[in-house]
Structure 1
């Protein structure tokens, strides 16, 4: 994906007048953090960042291949193994510049605040920094109701049991919004864009890839497992890790996502 020697790289600009304070800075810091680990995935290179824009090196497209997908899986394992200071930790460059500020999750035109901080375990983090905040956001927008809130509380109470064999995993360095649209396929393999980077559970990124159907998903998972086998029963936790992004879609887009979220809440609430 290199340009001719000495040529300026092709630029892709993301821009929004009146973007939430820190939105583009958070994304730029997330890309930098994800680019650090040796053997990790390629990320779009930041060329410039301002209050209302982010300039990235443009990625030339190519078809996804099974070989590139398997390499992406191994690279994601290396990224996750690089770790994070805590569950909920935001990219260090952003957290240091804006102590106490939230991150962001969602589209450019309507990103939801994503709480950051430091939680002692994944169950506490998922309950306090993801599930309860998103149902509160849904209630504020009139999309979710008191019954949904009660279901979320039942799920939160069951999280240690639902986490099962993965409960003791250490914080992983996550892309955080790894649906298939945030994986670009280039002649040199996969390139990641648009992160909501934070310290979380390694299974979350993989569940996001499955949520909307990444190409060659089986090869991605095979490459990951060869580099870092997942905890026993991970297949049964995919839906648990998909609850937050599905609920975000319900809050942002309503419609069928609300029904899907409620069905998943009832499933997980037991």
Structure 2
């Protein structure tokens, strides 16, 4: 049982545990230990080997002083992760502004290469229920094409989520990535799955949870916030710009960076996500 694993990992007795709703990759629980500490625990299914190790390594890597707070990892095993529990609250303007500044500082902490995994993290990681390969490349266009677009286009075509004509449009994007990508930038330290559900609003700050961290282009995190929405996003972007201004034309490149999450959704859920990815590819091609 997960309570027994939580007790083993923390060295404390679990006196209360309750199942939490939400999430599409794991069973999640809130637990109270015998010293009164509240913890959060999640169990990864057998179909996702390495998911716990990848998430634990991601959280530790993102825990950059002065950046965005992330839950402390209290213990991790092959299939269970235990972190500190952060009580939820409503978004505030102050928290949104600090999120923007902290995200800029996090990105500025850097990474060894575009495509690098977090220290101690596996190259074969996960984004939601989809496998995700972290493989260092010499530049961002090569990494994004080889490891974030092309593998998911192939899977989406095989599943029928994307037709051959849409696949050709996405292939053209990959061919033109060096000119579409904008000014070259050093690799940033990315959350990697920064949709609004992975921004957890606490009582005094916004926290980052459920990361798929890797080295990449900082515009990717911001593009995902724009794709699925984020409370007070204008404030987040404005204060991000105060700390680390984005390169000219970044708004025109949002569609390019959204290709990865859209293709992941096409592979996992089908429906209109394949068509949405094709439209984003067409916008990216028209933007240059």
Cα distance between partner residues in 2 of 1:19 and 1:12? 22
Q: 2:50 aligns with which of 12, 16, 22?
A: 22
1:182-231 deviation line (CA, Å, top 9, x unaligned):
01111120111000100000111111111111001011001100011111
- Asked if structure 2 preserves the Cα contact closer than 8 Å seen for 1:19 and 1:51, the reply is no
1:57-105 deviation line (CA, Å, top 9, x unaligned):
221111101111010111011111110000000111114xxxxx31211
User: Tell me, which stretches of 5 or more residues in structure 1 are unaligned?
Assistant: 1-5, 96-100
DSSP-derived class of the 1:214 partner = coil
Does residue 50 of structure 1 match 2:72? no
Alignment correspondent of 2:31: none
Structure of greater relative contact order (alpha carbons < 8 Å, 6+ residues apart): 1
Shift of 1:20: 1.9
DSSP-derived class of the 1:92 partner = coil
- Asked if structure 2 preserves the Cα contact closer than 8 Å seen for 1:203 and 1:234, the reply is yes
Shift of 1:258: 2.0
State the 4+ residue runs in structure 1 displaced beyond 6 angstroms.
Answer: none
Closer, same or farther: CA 105–182 of 1 in aligned 2, 3 Å? same
Q: 1:32 aligns with which of 43, 46, 60?
A: 60
Closer, same or farther: CA 203–143 of 1 in aligned 2, 3 Å? same
- Asked if structure 2 preserves the Cα contact closer than 8 Å seen for 1:155 and 1:265, the reply is yes
Alignment correspondent of 1:151: 169
DSSP-derived class of the 1:153 partner = helix
* TM superposition score normalised by structure 2: 0.84
DSSP-derived class of the 1:93 partner = coil
* TM superposition score normalised by structure 1: 0.89
Q: 1:114 aligns with which of 132, 138, 148?
A: 132
Shift of 1:240: 0.9
1:221-246 deviation line (CA, Å, top 9, x unaligned):
01100011111111111111111101
Q: 2:87 aligns with which of 54, 60, 67?
A: 60
- Asked if structure 2 preserves the Cα contact closer than 8 Å seen for 1:19 and 1:52, the reply is no
Larger radius of gyration: 2
RMSD of the TM alignment (CA)? 1.5
DSSP-derived class of the 1:41 partner = coil
Alignment correspondent of 1:208: 224
